[in-house]
Amino acid sequence: MKKADVVVDGRFVEELKDARLHWKGSSNQRVIDVPKTVHEGKIVIYEE
């Protein structure tokens, strides 16, 4: 995890597939900001 900037969390759901999403394949997934999560000690969602 020390070398990761983001992690995609959640299983891919075909019915929620959206090719416009950045880094994730379906809308139920979330993109976690790893450095901020480690620093804050709680899940921080990545925002562009």
Structure confidence at residue 2 (pLDDT): 78
Give the C-alpha separation, 28 to 13, whole Å. 7
Structure confidence at residue 31 (pLDDT): 97
Q: What is the pLDDT of residues 17-27, one digit of tens each?
A: 999 999 999 99
Q: How far is CA 36 from CA 8, 20, 21, 24, in A?
A: 15, 25, 21, 19
Contact status, residue 31 vs residue 22, Cβ threshold 8 Å: yes
Contact status, residue 21 vs residue 37, Cβ threshold 8 Å: no
- In this prediction the pTM is 0.85
Structure confidence at residue 48 (pLDDT): 81
Structure confidence at residue 23 (pLDDT): 93
Domain boundaries, the chain: 1-32+41-48
Residue 12 corresponds to which amino acid?
A: F
Average pLDDT over residues 7-33: 96
